Structure 1
Amino acid sequence: MSVMINMGTDPKGQIASMDLEELLATRLLVQGNSGSGKSHLLRRMLEKSARYVQQIIIDPEGDFVTLADRFPHVAVEGSAYNEAEIRVLAQRIREHRVSVVLNLDGLDVDNQMKCAAWFLATLFDAPRDHWYPAVVIIDEAQIFAPAQAGEVSDEARRLSLAAMTNLMCRGRKRGLAGVIATQRLAKLAKNVAAEASNFLMGRTFLDIDMARAADLLGMDRRQAETIRDLERGHFLALGPALSRRPIAIQIGDVETKSRTGSFKLMPLPDTKSHKAEELLFSEPKEPALPLASPEPPAPPSSEQLMEFIQKEEERKATEAPKNDVIVDNSQKETLIDALLSSIIAEEENAYRQANLLYQEFMIGCRMHGLTTPPLDLPAFSRRLAMARSGLKGKDFQDETWQPAFKVAQTLEEDIQAVFLLLAKSAKENTPCPDDDIIARIYGTRSSGRARRLLGYMENQGIITIRTDFGGRRSITIPALGWTTAAA
């Protein structure tokens, strides 16, 4: 089936068409400086061919996600997925022939290259039964196939360049037609650009880019000067899908718009100079504080506790001994929670062993009239782990927490608090704690040790760690079926 796409008009006012079937076999390269109309050209081509062929768009700037508002495209945020999930997504795209826009706007350049590489490699490696025709459009292709090494990692550049080379060199046999757009031909790897047989060259000013564009169009140096004079939205076209001889094309209108659009001049605000200075340098106004109940008094520090108990011991030495105070279970749990809160509130206590903190706990019990502590050392260690993870005594009685406590009892004592912290975040589906918080709960100031601990717990099958392309980590506890939110 031959399908001709109306791309615009030539200088004589006649329709300039692109043969879509020929494009699938011969690939396309679009070049033009920023503001020359490359994105407009790609959008025109995508809109006119959306009914006839599957479209897969790799969009580093998020310009083409608006296609999903009018056409049956699916916008995919690349930053929300990790490598395995991106590969599964690419497999399903080829299998079900769904047009997608892979938006990489939320990633840095290094992760953009890796994400695009894994995505393209999976499209390329699809089973033969899924080799359906598809147009793969890559905007800002110089990012993914750079001519020279930049500030990105060698791994990202190697993966991305290999995937782009496979797409442009061998993709045709798998039904993949590469369409790449770049601001500068000099920045694009030559082995990638050379595989295109169709060219649309827009305005450019640098001699090296004009020379390469003229060479691809079969023009001499004098004719190459005309590339500098092209207006916005005007391109020189050549190739079996466009024209056998170079022709000028004015790209037609489009139905959808970019999210950002182009910036226009607008009047500046009518602000006198002294008012402008006030806006910049005046003291910020304090926001009105909402009415709230008074804060409870801060728990006493360990130094205060020691000073108080010393005075108590001196007083008791001159008085007759008294019987132990009798308290019920609810009062006992309240007392335990209060004492544990007082202990963990001290910054340095985060790095002290449970047996040392148990002495402070016993002192606090005696201050409240309990000569016999309600917890022995093993029980205190378990409750201290709970307190460090943010749990209270009432949670110990909660049936929904019992599976988590059973798992915690099977773990080494020093990681129980970290496990319960992760379990609490997962149960409440709150963001995963960062490395600094985990390090403090673990009793170290090293975030590296915290990461190694998480790696150890994952190797033991206690947790499963997932990190998306945006660097957001979430943790699942398989034994409980709970997962934290990404953070």
Structure 2
Amino acid sequence: MKTEIVIGHGTGGAPVSFDIEELLATRLLVQGNSGSGKSHLLRRLLEESAGMVQQVVIDPEGDFTSLAEPFGHVVVDGAAYSPGEIEALARRIREHRASVVLALESLEVEQQIRCAAQFLTALFDAPREHWYPALVVVDEAQMFAPAVAGEIAEDTRRMTLSAMTNLMCRGRKRGLAGIVATQRLAKLAKNVAAEASNFLMGRTFLDIDMVRAADLLGMERRQAERIRELERGHFLALGPAITRVPLAVKIGPVQSGLKARAEGLMPLPEAAPEDMAALLTRDLASEAARPAPPPPPPAAPRVDEVEASIARAEERQVPQPEELRDSGAVAGRIEELIQALACEEGIAFQSASAQYQTFLSRCRRERLVGPMPDMQSFRRRFAIAGAGLDELDAATRERILTLAGTVEEDLLAPFLVIAKAAHAGETQVDEEALARAYGTSSPGRIRRLLDHLERQGLVVVRQDFGGGRTVMVPGLEGLAAG
């Protein structure tokens, strides 16, 4: 069986071949700045070898989904599946030798990284009987194998580095040939780059990247300037699967790709000025009337502001009404104050101590005389009021509160919101209500909250990469999803 493909032509017009069988054993590193033709090179390599070997593409930008129609690749949308389903898909891909493109463009960066890491790990961990040869192409590899810690969480960085290291260092025995492409060599983990024996180096301008590229190509550092002068679509090649000495190659044409992508200049629209003005201003008022994103939560008041508020309240104090001199009436009024406070806009974003001080100041203002709830009792009653448990029947309310008996005080309010929604059998948990109960506008904090509640055995969470979330509370009928 033929194992060589032509990826382009050298300086004299001679074809430059790529031995796919040798590539399976020696792996490939592609480097080039944005606009250097790196994606074009990968597409040429994939198209020419499509009939020879199974191909798996990790595609963070959606550049390679067009391979599906002419070459039969299966496009897998990472946002549509849960982590467990992504791993199961990877195992089936190895079993059935399917060529696939894992499209991640609809996910946030950290979710892209976690999805790709779990997918690669499942490919690597496939049963021995499914160790068929496959090219695994990872575009924008500096995202998935960063040289230094960035803005992603540390556990995510460890997960993705482990997956990429396994692919490049130990994947050969499992039939996996890693092809990693990066814009910046300096941003790619050295232990991942060092495992490649074949190199295709495109245009780059930063000195640190040029020096690393020259070192990998075995060139003297004074020759590194040559890399800066490369034209778009031109690469310096070296490696046992291509050539034993550095060779300049111009990548050949491709069959697939984004036809609508504009290269260079293109004619401007020919619409008349009045037609263009109509296009720009049509239905502008309705678009402007769309709800704006919620404002950031108000900052918690400073201690001196709380004290001043208490002082002003005491100055406005009036004699206690006759009807509130009865202890039962006082207790009822205290409950009403807690209910009213829990319903106020922005109160959940204040600290528990600020909430308690506000409550006490209102009690003083109304000259309520009697035992006041302590801080712990207030927080519990405040959480119950904020979750709206008083709307439920007594038996259900007691059942939820029994389940909440072991919940930490600062997590009680969001747990009660989840439990109420789960009992009602709602198809969605109100994300805004959950964020308001927890006093945050951060999706990350909500995610960590649910993870913590799940570790405590209080909820069961199923979450897919697209952001869909299903939460079940053991002991309650009903299901809640957000």
Q: TM-score, normalised by structure 1?
A: 0.65
> Which of 446, 453, 469 pairs up with 1:473?
469
Worse-superposed segment, 461-470 or 223-232 = 461-470
> Which of 413, 430, 434 pairs up with 1:433?
430
- Using the alignment, how far apart are the partners of 1:108 and 1:8 within structure 2? 35
Q: How many residues align?
A: 378
Structure 1 residues 454 and 213: CA distance shift in structure 2, 3 A = closer
1:456-483 deviations in Å (ceiling 9; x for gaps): 9968989642112233312468999976
User: Identity rate of aligned residues, in percent?
Assistant: 56
Cross-structure match for 2:104:
104
Cross-structure match for 1:232:
232
Partner of 2:164: helix, strand, or coil?
Answer: helix
Alpha-carbon offset, residue 450 of structure 1 = 9.3
Do the aligned partners of 2:422 and 2:476 also contact (CA within 8 Å) in 1?
A: no
- Using the alignment, how far apart are the partners of 2:157 and 2:110 within structure 1? 8
Do the aligned partners of 2:33 and 2:204 also contact (CA within 8 Å) in 1?
A: yes
1:289-340 deviations in Å (ceiling 9; x for gaps): 9xxxxxxxxxxxxxxxxxxxxxxxxxxxxxxxxxxxxxxxxxxxxxxxxxxx
> What does 1:87-486 correspond to in 2, within 5 Å?
87-258=87-258, 261-262=261-262, 264-266=264-266, 284-285=284-285, 421-422=421-422, 430-434=427-431, 436-437=432-433, 446=439, 464-475=460-471
Q: TM-score, normalised by structure 2?
A: 0.66
- Using the alignment, how far apart are the partners of 1:152 and 1:263 within structure 2? 33
1:404-439 deviations in Å (ceiling 9; x for gaps): xx999976589998656446665xxx54432x3358
Alpha-carbon offset, residue 275 of structure 1 = 11
Residue type of the alignment partner of 1:244:
R
Alpha-carbon offset, residue 106 of structure 1 = 2.1
- Using the alignment, how far apart are the partners of 2:459 and 2:149 within structure 1? 38
Unaligned runs of 5+ in 1: 290-345, 352-383, 390-405
Structure 1 residues 213 and 460: CA distance shift in structure 2, 3 A = closer
Structure 1 residues 78 and 482: CA distance shift in structure 2, 3 A = farther
- Using the alignment, how far apart are the partners of 1:254 and 1:268 within structure 2? 27
- Using the alignment, how far apart are the partners of 1:53 and 1:60 within structure 2? 22
Residue type of the alignment partner of 2:466:
G
Structure 1 residues 481 and 200: CA distance shift in structure 2, 3 A = farther
Worse-superposed segment, 226-235 or 133-142 = 226-235
Cross-structure match for 2:18:
18
- Using the alignment, how far apart are the partners of 1:58 and 1:260 within structure 2? 22
- Using the alignment, how far apart are the partners of 1:387 and 1:50 within structure 2? 64
- Using the alignment, how far apart are the partners of 1:124 and 1:480 within structure 2? 39
Do the aligned partners of 1:7 and 1:16 also contact (CA within 8 Å) in 2?
A: yes
Alpha-carbon offset, residue 169 of structure 1 = 1.0
Worse-superposed segment, 227-236 or 83-92 = 83-92
Give the superposed CA RMSD.
4.2
Structure 1 or 2, whichever has the larger Rg, is: 1
Alpha-carbon offset, residue 261 of structure 1 = 2.8
Unaligned runs of 5+ in 2: 290-338, 345-386, 405-414
